[in-house]
Amino acid sequence: MSLNNFQQSKQRRNFLEKELKVKFPQIAKAHIEEEENIYCENLIGETTTPLGVAGPIKIQSLQGSLKQKKDLIRQSFIPLATTEGALVASVNRGCKAINLSGVAKVFVKKTGTTRGPVYDTENLEKGLWFIDWLKKNEQEIKKEAEKTSSHLRYLKFYAKVVGGYTFIRFYFDCDEAMGMNMATIATEAINRWIEKKAKIRCLSITGNFCVDKKASWLNFLLGRGQELWAEVSLKKEIINRVLKTSGEKMFEVWLGKNLIGSILSGSISYNGHFANIVAAYFLATGQDLAHVIEGSLGITTTKLLPNGDLYFAIYLPAVMLAMVGGGTKLKIKKEAIAITQAKNSRELAEVLGAAVLAGEISLLASLAEGSLARAHQKLGR
């Protein structure tokens, strides 16, 4: 008897309870979604993660014209699903410091979802010819890709030849979806057309050139999904009163930890804990959790200002986030998304950018103050 023989999650759960001689009352209790909305094979139920809310935080969107930007200020709450004590409190403290100092200014650029096949081009000459051929036929490639979905738009490609292999990184705008499935289907259609017209064989629809769910300098330098920027100038008195430290001390910690420490350890990123906030936000809002790897990439920058204030900014080059599709279809995730009041994927990303900014501020302040261990002893044990 196999789990595949059963049609319902309850039947599979009962089978496992008998087989393992273990009871799963909480897993059964947590199972509240209709099974047809859940993309999970051999389903037996659901697990839950505590959901906390930080904020509200004042966000100014830097999209549009200078005149429009003045009107694009809103307040958003931040849903964070985590089992790490002190994380929500830390982000909340960062939100307070930002709000009292002004506003989190956030900019989002849709770079595009990527799929990066590898092709057998036999030798350098044929590989270089292939790239030239793709450039000349790019409009036809665009047509083939966009036939696969009314929500997908072909953007561009980036290419590299290594010996007898050619790697192509296709970029797609997938509307409100994160779009990996859409990008894969579109790339498959492109490959069929390439094989027919150019007689070039695709070895694998993903040649690790996407680069999907892996840490990569290519994603850092070229971007993937959405790129996020956020900034604020923290007032000197707010740093002292709310964060219990000084701009000078925070700058020293940033320089020693985020910059020099990252260089010394050979890190691919230069931030304090982007992954903490990205993971909690992704889990709350139904994103693909493996894309936390791309979300952990990024740089935190600080600058001491002449008046004693501290300029603080973050950059995330590869955020794979969606408003529709995948786990965002689950009712419980829809409710968490509603907490942000975001109307589209750009606004959902803006809230994440502001949250990461707040989390970085609070962590560096805690390290500068020397309160990290105390905070976790109080809230995380």
The chain-wide mean pLDDT, for the chain, equals 93
**Strands 118-120 vs 165-173: parallel, antiparallel or unpaired:** antiparallel
Contact criterion met (CB below 8 Å) for 76 and 55: yes
- The set of catalytic residues is 84, 288, 376
Q: What angle do CA 359, 362, 368 make, to 5 degrees?
A: 140
Question: At 253, which helix (H) or strand (E)?
Answer: helix 247-253
- The answer to whether residue 372 scores a pLDDT higher than 70 is no
User: Which one, of 169, 165, 167, lies nearest residue 155 by Cα?
Assistant: 169
pLDDT tens-digit series, residues 307-333 = 999 999 999 999 999 999 999 999 999
- Counting residues of the chain whose pLDDT is more than 90, the rounded percentage is 81
Query: Minimum mean pLDDT among 107-116, 344-353, 372-381: which range?
Result: 372-381
Average pLDDT (94-123) is 97
Contact criterion met (CB below 8 Å) for 51 and 28: no
**Given this model, what pLDDT does residue 379 score?**
64
pLDDT tens-digit series, residues 131-155 = 999 999 999 999 999 999 999 999 9
Question: Which residues are CB-neighbours of 190 under 8 A, at least 6 positions away?
Answer: 141, 144, 145, 170
**Given this model, what pLDDT does residue 33 score?**
76
Distance CA 20, CA 201 (A): 48
As to burial, measured by CB atoms within 10 angstroms (0-12 exposed, 13-18 middle, 19+ buried), residue 150 is: exposed
Domains and their CATH numbers in the chain: 3-37 (no CATH), 52-110+226-379 (3.90.770.10), 117-204 (3.30.70.420)
In the three-class reduction of DSSP (H, G, I as helix; E, B as strand; rest coil), residue 81 is classed as strand
- The answer to whether residue 378 scores a pLDDT higher than 80 is no
pLDDT tens-digit series, residues 334-359 = 999 999 999 999 999 999 999 999 99
- Whether the model pTM is above 0.75: yes
Average pLDDT (285-296) is 96
φ, ψ (nearest 5 deg) of residue 32: -120, -10
Cα-trace Rg, the chain: 23
